[in-house]
Chain A
Amino acid sequence: QKEVEQDPGPLSVPEGAIVSLNCTYSNSAFQYFMWYRQYSRKGPELLMYTYSSGNKEDGRFTAQVDKSSKYISLFIRDSQPSDSATYLCAMSADTGRRALTFGSGTRLQVQP
């Protein structure tokens, strides 16, 4: 079993919809949780970063972490066609080491 599980999708939604993306993990030592966005044939870019449990909001994006359930979510409000990409959750346990463990990514398609 992988340390980080993520539904690969694809997920297709109409423009303006609310999108919910999720990951579960098994390593209770994970403390740092990130969401990366990856456009086709490009490298991943950091979208959201959260430390420990709680919520974080940035514009149309909200990241939630529930460490008791080992479950993290990314919500996208008023989704746009430009949001069409693969979304990767990533997490790490040790800031000193700082290498990230990634989920497999969820491919999102927002239809205009």
Chain B
Amino acid sequence: EAEVAQSPRYKITEKSQAVAFWCDPISGHATLYWYRQILGQGPELLVQFQDESVVDDSQLPKDRFSAERLKGVDSTLKIQPAELGDSAMYLCASSSRLAGLAGANTGELFFGEGSRLTVL
């Protein structure tokens, strides 16, 4: 079964250090999302790509976070410098390009297992 791959699964770093997360979406999925999930809360969108283009990065703290999807396939999310408040699960998700017809498989995001970041 096709899956969204993420690495690393766990990352412990000290504040002010740089950290990077990688995501490989399901093959053929044009839309890729990075979500952040703080413990006890729901996922919050950081950035959305359609192919290699950013569709929405309004919630991405651009002073320290960056995301790229250069060839429209895999993606990297970087944090530099990391802060204590960045400790969270970083989830990558992908969805297909299929049109959103009522009754179709609209809105199904397939999530990876996440990368859990702890900043000390």
Residues of A in contact with B (beta carbons under 8 Å apart)? 4, 6, 8, 32, 34, 41-46, 49, 51-52, 88, 90, 92, 95-105
A45 to nearest B CB, angstroms?
Answer: 7
B105 to nearest A CB, angstroms?
Answer: 7
Which size bracket describes the interface of B in this complex?
20 to 34
Given A42-B113, A43-B113, A98:B106 Cβ within 8 A: yes
CA distance A90 to B91 in the complex (A): 15
**Knowing that A88-B42, A97-B48 are A-B contacts, what are 8 other residue pairs whose CB atoms are under 8 Å apart, sorted by A's residue number?**
A44-B111, A45-B111, A52-B102, A95-B100, A98-B107, A99-B33, A99-B56, A102-B44
Q: Which residue of A lies closest to B114 (CB)?
A: A43
Counted as pairs of residues, one from A and one from B, with CB atoms less than 8 Å apart, the total is 73
A98 touches B31 (CB 8 A): yes
